[in-house]
Amino acid sequence: MASAAAGSSAAVPFWRAAGMTYITYSNICASLVRSCLKEPYKSEAASREKVHFAISKWADGKPEKPTVRSDSPEE
C-alpha cells in the first residue's frame, strides 16, 4: 500500500496518508450520516451499526476460551 513517502504515482487521499484504510473511511462516513438522521429512521439505522463477534486466541495449538464481543454504536 502507498506509504507516506509518495514515490508512487497517484496523490493519496488524506485518510490513506494518515494510515486509514478505505473500509474504515467508508464506515466512518456511513456512521456520521446515520447520526444525522431524523428520529424514526435513526433508531432503525442504529441496528445496522451493531457488530457481534467472538474472538478466540490460540496458544500452543489449542484455542483458549473465546470472548464474545457485541458492540453497539457508542462513540
Partner 1 sequence: MYRQAPRLLIRALDGGRGGRLIGRAFSTDVPAASVEDSAFVEAWKKVAPNLEPPKTPLSFMRPRPPTPSSIPSKLTVNFVLPYQSEISNKEVDMVIVPATTGQMGVLPGHVATIAELKPGVLSVHDGNEVTKYVVSSGFAFIHANSIADIVAVEAVPVDRIDPSLVQKGLADFTQKLSSATTDLEKAEAQIGVDVHSALNAALSG
Q: Which stretch binds partner 1 (CB under 8 A): 20-28, 55-63, 64-72?
A: 20-28
Contact residue for partner 1 among 6, 20, 21, 67 (CB under 8 A):
20
**What residue type is assigned to position 31 of the chain?**
S
- Candidates 6, 8, 21, 41; binder of partner 1 (CB under 8 A) is 41
Stretch that binds partner 1, among 32-40, 56-64, 65-73 (CB under 8 A): 32-40
Three cell numbers at 54?
A: 467472538
C-alpha pair distances (Å), 62 with each of 39, 54, 65, 67, 68: 47, 16, 10, 15, 18
